[in-house]
Each structure stands twice: as C-alpha cells, then as structure tokens.
C-alpha cells in the first residue's frame, strides 16, 4: 500500500492505494502556510488517511507528495512553491525521519499526470495531462512514466507564444498560451476583484460583456493551441484537462471544442488529427493528483506488472 | 553490416555500416521518377554501395530505406511520396524478393533523426532533428529510438500556428511555422523564379531588398519557434538542424541565433533554457539521413549494445 498527497494552496488531498491502484481511503485537510506548517500538514495527512483506512503506518511502502514548484528529476527537494510559502523544502529529508517510510516528491502537475493516466489513460500509452490553473502546464506520460526530458522543461507548453501581438506574459514574452489561458493572466486582464475571477469572466461573457467575451475567446484559443502543440509535437493519444479551471465543466469545454472545430474546418491536416475526440475533461473532484502522487517512484517493473 | 539509403527527390545517398555504426562505404546516384524507377534505384544503390565496400550482398543483415512521404508505424509501405512521383510503394514486398535481404522503410525525417542522433546526439538521450526543407518537420529520438507517438503526428511542429495574422499555410491554417520557415512557402512568397529560391532571398536581403529582409526575418522567427516548441514540450537536450536549408550554414544560423537571443533577453524563463547552446547545425554533406536509414529497425537490444 502507498500513500499519495496532493498538497495544494488551500487543501491537501490524501489517498491510500493498494498494489492494484485501487483507492482504499481518501481524506482532505487544510494546508498550512510556510515550510514548517507544510511539513506538519504532510505528516498529519499521512496519519489521517491511514486512520481512515484502518491501516498501520508500518504497512505503507511509500509516501508520494505532489507539490506546486520545481522538483529536479530524481530530487528529494521542492523549490519555489510560492503558493505554499515555501522557498525550498527537502521533503524526503524532513519527512522520512518523522514517518519512518520512504518519502518521494514530485511537481504537482507531473504527479497529476500520472494519476490521470491511471484513471483515464488509453491503451496506447501516450497521454498528456493539461493543467489549467493559475498557470498552464502539461505533464506527458509515456508507458506509465512521466516524460522527464533533459532539463525539466517537458510539458511547459504555457510559455509557447502563439501570437506576437498577444498580451504580455509574466514570463516576459508576448502572446504565450499562459497569457491567454492561465487563470492568473485572465484575472489580471479582467482587473475586477472576486474569489473566482475566471467564473466571473464567464458569467459576464454570458451576459454579453465585450471584454469578458474577448477574454473567454482568448482562453479557448489558448487551450486549443495547447492541445494542438501536444499532439503535433509529442503525438499524445489523449489530452486530459484538469486543474482549477476544469471545475467550469461544459462552460470551458464548449468554447474550446468550438475553437478546435474551427481549426479542423480550416485545415484537412488538422481535421485528420481528430483533436476534439482526443481531448477530455477530468471529472470534478477527481482524485487524480493524489493518486498520481502515490504512484511517484514506482519502479518500471511495478508499472508493467500493475499498469 | 547494414545498408541505409536516403532516397531524395534528385539524389539517393547510400551507406554501408558495421555493427559499431561506422560507415564502411558511401555512394550517391540519381533517383528515378515514379514507382518502378524508384524501386530500381533502391536495388541499384544496394549493389553499388556493396561493390564500393567489396562486400557480398549475403553479408548484409538489412536494408533500411528513408523516403519522403507517410510511413505508418511498423508499416512496410510509403504513401504520398509526392517528390518521387510515388503514390504508394510497398518497399519491403517489392524489394525483398529482388535483394534477398530484409528491407525496412521509414519516413526520411525520422530516419535522418536516428542518424543525427548517432552522429551528434548528446549523452542524455533526448534529441530532436529539425528538418528545414520544402516543409518543416522534426523527428524526436529517445534512447536511440524514434519517438513514435499515437498516430504518426509526432514532430509535426511545422503546422503549429505561431501568428494568427501570419501568412496562409498550404495546410489551411495561418501563421504556421512552415508558412514562415518552409523553403516552399518562402519561395512562393518571394514569387521569383530561381533554382535555389531561399538562397536568392538571402542574397537579396543582404543587398537590402525589403521583402527579402522580411522573409528572412520570418524564417528565423519560424525556426526559433520550432526550437522553443521542441524544448518546451518534449524537453529535448539538443536540436540538430538539417535538411536542404541547412546548406546555408552561418547565413541561416546567425539570424536564428539572433532571434533566440532576443527571446532570451525578453524572458528570464526562456533564458534559463539556453536554447542557443542547445541548437546545432548538421555539417554540409553529412551522411546522417542514409546512416539513420541503416539503423531503422534495429532491435532495442542492439541499440543498447552498440549505441
């Protein structure tokens, strides 16, 4: 059995899975702020989910932690987890002595990609998980493993510019996919306060507000471009869309599908890729991110044996 | 020993390699036009290169053929090899009975990617070969094997649109990388006759012609974007540039490097990717394409044993 945690800016989602990747228990708790509180949240989440399942800590083979921020390939440390108030945390070194279980850490999008693959991956074995949150990034899963690439930039499609006349991106470029489709960029361009700014933009667009309609169009254009980039570069079989914006459900997928459809009408080549059929939305409340964290660090043999 | 052929629109390049991927002999001949003449060219190229090396046909373990056109994963057939006047050719079924040797076929860009990897691949094992010819396409090599993906669109970065206000592409979209950086698109936008239209454009740009300068700028922008897309999606360690336009040498790489440099100046994130250092040009006359064809179909065991 393995524990997986998705440590988010407000909530931490915890699951415990068996060797066949079935979820035995799941629990959620509030995430603390800052390096010490985040460490305490992780330890507490493991105990809570073990208690929920009635399983002793000694029976857990590993704890996998998915966190926003940079995790170098094979590293035990997360850096720049800005949303959590963590500049740097050696998750393994901090938590292993406390828990007495092997602890691994992974970037949250890459972990969620593993989980989305386990839950929704198709047979062909190549899948991208496109995370639409404050930023835009993807994780590519090949034969059950996260595509690692050379230096950690795999799946960073958010910073591909698709319009030299587009809005400036916080990365310094113009017209990046993230500048069009990132929740943070949309909120900034909208410029009005609100707890769920992208939802506000969609509401205002429905009511006919011109700026909101333009922002929604840009968002759909950005997401459609991300899907095209993933298929035209890595030729993934499926693009599973998750992240905070995926809670918009049909309100998100309808304009994205329309944008993909328009592209397919313009180009026989693009049409042949059947992009609309390849894109799918993660269901609301999906445990993909925590489940994926639990899968982090499984050996190739285990992946092949248990899928 | 294996034979590899790069069957191009005008010339066929043939090499014979040993198990350590050393080239024992190389020869070139004119390519015939149409399905029968192309078949005859392949048979003749095998005999010529065997003669050149003083090796009997019986000692050849396989013949690999790289050809422009579509080759489905694992297929023995090439389709739509327009430049060769071949609508469809089952290369294996046609040539194996004549040669008495196992014959494999691969798309020429994917074959060249394998060869570029053997000649110039770095240690990390992820490399992209960016082919700048009439069109723009890339082949991605992972652990010595061509990245296959789900449906054959891996590396088709030429049809990613990077500018909604850009020139129309023959694929039906606008502002595709190929519409900016493909030799065919540049020639069409230049609109003046000439055997080497892109070289003519570069000459005219050097002489100050405004249209030519704009076309050269667009070409550099397209190539730089292709490099960014390959690194930001697949995170390849190195991008090796080949194809017809690579004969322009420094005249091509200088504006591309300037474009990458401008991007790096604008964005700390892009700067951290060190794109300029990751991009490299295939030397003129490189045998990469034919060498790569010879490597097509080696088993994983052979790749691991011999690199």
Q: What is the CATH number of the domain that holds A228?
A: 3.30.420.40
A50 within some domain = yes
pLDDT band at B195 (very low <50, low <70, confident <90, very high): confident
My answer on whether A85 and A140 are in the same domain is no
Min distance B158 CA to chain A CA atoms (Å): 9
Residue of B241, B244, B200 lying closest to B83 (CA atoms):
B244
Q: How far apart are the first and last CA of chain A?
A: 15
Count of residues in chain B: 307
My answer on whether B225 and B302 are in the same domain is no
How many secondary structure helices (H) and strands (E) does chain A include? 12, 12
Residues of chain A contacting residue B229, judged by C-beta atoms under 8 Å apart: 160, 229, 233
Contact yes or no for A269 and B172 at CB 8 A: yes
Contact yes or no for A234 and B236 at CB 8 A: no
Judge contact between A102 and A96, C-beta under 8 A: yes
My answer on whether B77 and B15 are in the same domain is yes
The complex's ipTM works out to: 0.89
Q: What backbone torsions phi and psi does residue B287 show, to the nearest 5 degrees?
A: -85, 15
pLDDT in tens, A274-296: 999 999 999 988 999 999 999 99
My answer on whether A102 and A196 are in the same domain is no
Mutate to test the interface with B, among A148, A153, A169 (most CBs of B within 10 A): A153
My answer on whether B104 and B250 are in the same domain is no
My answer on whether A218 and A201 are in the same domain is yes
Q: Which residue of B has its CA nearest to A228?
A: B160
A30 DSSP β-pair partners = A11
**Chain B residues with CB-CB distance to A under 8 A?**
124, 126, 138, 140, 147-157, 159-165, 169, 171-173, 225, 228-237, 263, 266-270, 273
My answer on whether A156 and A209 are in the same domain is yes
Q: Where are the beta strands (DSSP E) in chain B?
A: 2-7, 11-17, 23-30, 62-67, 77-81, 86-90, 103-107, 126-132, 136-142, 145-146, 238-242, 279-281
Quote the distance between the C-alpha of residue A217 and its chain's center: 22
- Distance between CA atoms of residues B301 and B110, nearest Å: 20
Percent of chain A with pLDDT over 90: 82
Residues of chain A contacting residue B228, judged by C-beta atoms under 8 Å apart: 160-161
Residues of chain B contacting residue A152, judged by C-beta atoms under 8 Å apart: 235
For A24, A114, B59, the CA distances from B55, given in Å and listed in that order, are 64, 50, 7
My answer on whether A50 and A135 are in the same domain is no
Q: What is the mean pLDDT of residues A260-268?
A: 95
Contact yes or no for A124 and B233 at CB 8 A: no
pLDDT in tens, A128-164: 999 999 999 999 998 888 887 777 789 999 999 999 9
The helix (H) or strand (E) run that includes residue B301 is helix B300-306
Question: Residue B120's pLDDT is what?
Answer: 83
My answer on whether B103 and B153 are in the same domain is no
A117 within some domain = no
For A39, A217, A280, B202, the CA distances from A256, given in Å and listed in that order, are 38, 9, 11, 40
B131 within some domain = yes
Number of domains making up chain B:
2
- Distance between CA atoms of residues B246 and B258, nearest Å: 17
Range of the domain at A299: 2-112+286-306
Q: Is the pLDDT of residue A188 over 70?
A: yes
Residue among B126, B171, B267 whose CB faces A171 most closely: B267
B117 within some domain = no
Judge contact between A17 and A61, C-beta under 8 A: no
My answer on whether A79 and A138 are in the same domain is no
Residues of chain B contacting residue A230, judged by C-beta atoms under 8 Å apart: 233
My answer on whether A9 and A143 are in the same domain is no
Three-state secondary-structure class, residue B276 = helix
- Distance between CA atoms of residues B145 and B295, nearest Å: 9
Three-state secondary-structure class, residue B244 = helix
My answer on whether A141 and A236 are in the same domain is yes
Contact yes or no for A232 and B172 at CB 8 A: no
A37 within some domain = yes
B144 Rama class: left (phi>0) / alpha (psi -120 to 50) / beta: left
Question: Residue B72's pLDDT is what?
Answer: 82
Q: Is the pLDDT of residue B37 over 60?
A: yes
Mean pLDDT, chain B, rounded, equals 93
A119 within some domain = no
Residues of chain A contacting residue B234, judged by C-beta atoms under 8 Å apart: 140, 147, 149, 154, 233-234
Judge contact between A117 and A129, C-beta under 8 A: yes
């Amino acid at each position: 059995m393995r524990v997986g945690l998705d440590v988010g800016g407000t909530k931490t989602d915890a699951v415990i899975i068996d060797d066949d990747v079935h979820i035995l228990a799941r629990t959620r708790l509030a995430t603390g702020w800052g390096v010490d509180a985040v460490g305490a949240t992780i330890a507490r989440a493991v105990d809570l989910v073990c208690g929920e399942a009635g399983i002793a800590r000694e029976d857990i083979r590993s704890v996998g932690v998915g966190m926003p921020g940079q995790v170098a390939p094979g590293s035990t440390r997360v850096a720049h987890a800005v949303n959590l108030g963590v500049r740097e945390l050696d998750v393994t070194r901090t938590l292993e002595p406390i828990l007495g279980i092997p602890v691994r850490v992974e970037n949250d999008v890459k972990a969620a990609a593993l989980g989305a693959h386990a839950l929704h991956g198709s047979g062909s074995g190549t899948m991208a998980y496109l995370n639409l949150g404050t930023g835009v990034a993807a994780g590519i899963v090949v034969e059950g493993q996260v595509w690692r690439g050379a230096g950690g930039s795999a799946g960073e499609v958010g910073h591909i510019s698709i319009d030299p006349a587009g809005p400036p991106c916080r990365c310094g470029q113009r017209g990046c996919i993230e500048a069009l489709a990132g929740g943070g960029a949309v909120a900034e361009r909208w410029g009005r306060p609100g707890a769920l700014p992208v939802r506000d933009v969609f509401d205002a667009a429905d009511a006919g507000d011109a700026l909101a309609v333009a922002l929604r169009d840009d968002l759909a254009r950005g997401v459609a471009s991300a899907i095209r980039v993933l298929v035209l570069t890595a030729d993934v079989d499926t693009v599973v869309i998750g992240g905070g914006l995926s809670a918009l459900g049909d309100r998100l997928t309808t304009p994205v599908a329309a944008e993909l459809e328009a592209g397919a009408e313009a180009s026989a080549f693009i049409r042949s890729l059947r992009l609309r059929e390849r894109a799918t939305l993660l269901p609301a409340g999906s445990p993909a991110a925590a489940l994926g964290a639990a899968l982090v660090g499984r050996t190739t043999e285990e992946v092949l044996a248990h899928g």
